[in-house]
Amino acid sequence: MVIQDGADLCFPQLSNTSCRSPGSPSTEALLLHITLSTISLMTVALNLLVIISVSHYRQLHAPTNILLLSLAVSDFLMGLLLMPVEIIRNMTCWFLGNILCSLYNSLSFMITSASVGHMVLISVDRYVAICDPMHYPTRVTEKRVKLCVCVCWLCSVFYGGLIVKDDFIIPGRHNSCYGECMITVDYIPGTVDLVISFIIPVTVIVVLYSRVFMVAVSQARAMRSHITTITVQFSVKTAPRKSELKAAKTLGVLVVVFLICFCPYYGVSLAGDDLLSGSYGSYALFLFYINSTLNPVIYALFYPWFRKAVKLIVSLQILQSGSSEANVL
C-alpha cells in the first residue's frame, strides 16, 4: 500500500510499508492516556510498599506473606514494564523495533503466568491452613514456600520464552506494517496457553476455595452450636484459628478480584484473534493488568499490618536503627 503524505507516516522514509501515525490525540484519548499512566504509577508505588513492608519487618516473614511478597513483585513488574509499554503500543507509533516488541510479548506471558501461579499457590496455602490446620505449620514452612516461589518464577520465565519463541526467530512476523507491535499467538501455542494459564489454574483455584469455604462454614457452625462438651473440645482442637479464617476471607477476595480481571482477556482469546488484536482485546489485557493495582488496595482494606507498615514507611521510621523488629501485627 502506497501512502503519499509522508507527514502521516510513522516512518516517512518507508512510504510503502510504514504504518500511519495516530496524529495528535483527541481530548478523550488524552484523558485515557493520563488515566492509564496514573494507574501505572499507582501500581508501582503501592506494590513497592508491599515489597518493602514484607521484606523489612521480621514479624511479616510468614509463609503466606512470602507468597504475597512474590505476588507483589510480579504486580510491580506489571506496573513498571507492561502497563507503560501497553500505553505506548496503543496510542503512538511503535519506534522500539521488532525485537523489543517480541521481548514485550514474552515478558507479558512471563509476568502474567507468574501472577496466575502465585494465585494457585495462595489457594493451596489457604486450603492446607483451613482444611488441615493441625499439620499446616509442618507442611507449609518458609523454606518450602520459598522453594515453590522460585519454581514458579523459573517456570514462568521458561514459559514466557517458549510460548513466543517463533517471534524471536522471525521478529515482527505478525505486523502488517512498520510502526506497530501486534500481540498475536498462533493457534497451537494459543490453545496451550489457554489450558495452562486459564482452564487448569482457574479449575484448581475454584475447587480449592470451594472446599475452603465449605470447611470454614462447617467449623464456624460447630463452634457456635456448642451441642456437647466433646463437640466443643473437638472443634477447638481441629478448627482453624480465627486469624486463619480471616486470612482465608481476605485472600478469597483477592482471588475473586483476580478472576474478575482475568476472565475477560481469555474470553476475548476464546472469541478469536481478530477480537484479540483489536482495541477490545487491548482493553481486556489492561483490565488484567489493573488487577495488579487492586491487590495492594485489598491489603490496605483488610490487613491492619499493611496499614501500620505503610505509616512507618511514609513517616521514615523505617530508617531508624532496629526498625525491622517493630511491632506491626
Q: What is the pLDDT of residues 146-194, one digit of tens each?
A: 999 999 999 999 999 888 888 888 888 878 888 888 877 777 777 888 8
Examine residue 148 and state whether it is found in any structural domain, yes or no.
Answer: yes
> What span, in angstroms and rounded, lies between the C-alpha atoms of 211 and 214?
5
Examine residue 174 and state whether it is found in any structural domain, yes or no.
Answer: yes
Examine residue 318 and state whether it is found in any structural domain, yes or no.
Answer: yes
Give the global pTM: 0.85
Examine residue 173 and state whether it is found in any structural domain, yes or no.
Answer: yes
> What CATH number does residue 153 fall under?
1.20.1070.10
- The pLDDT value recorded for residue 280 is 60
Q: Among 146, 144, 159, which residue's Cα sits nearest to residue 69?
A: 146
Domain encompassing residue 244: 57-323
Examine residue 36 and state whether it is found in any structural domain, yes or no.
Answer: no
The number of domains in the chain is: 1
Cβ contacts of 30 within 8 Å, gap of 6 or more:
none
Q: What is the share, in percent, of the chain residues with pLDDT greater than 70?
A: 82
Examine residue 84 and state whether it is found in any structural domain, yes or no.
Answer: yes
Examine residue 159 and state whether it is found in any structural domain, yes or no.
Answer: yes
Examine residue 177 and state whether it is found in any structural domain, yes or no.
Answer: yes
For residues 208 and 223, which has the higher predicted lDDT (pLDDT)?
Answer: 208
Q: Is 186 helix (H, G, I), strand (E, B) or coil?
A: coil
* Residue 263: how many other CB atoms lie within 10 Å: 15
> What span, in angstroms and rounded, lies between the C-alpha atoms of 254 and 258?
6
Question: 254-298, pLDDT tens digit by residue?
Answer: 888 888 888 777 776 666 554 455 556 667 777 778 889 998 988
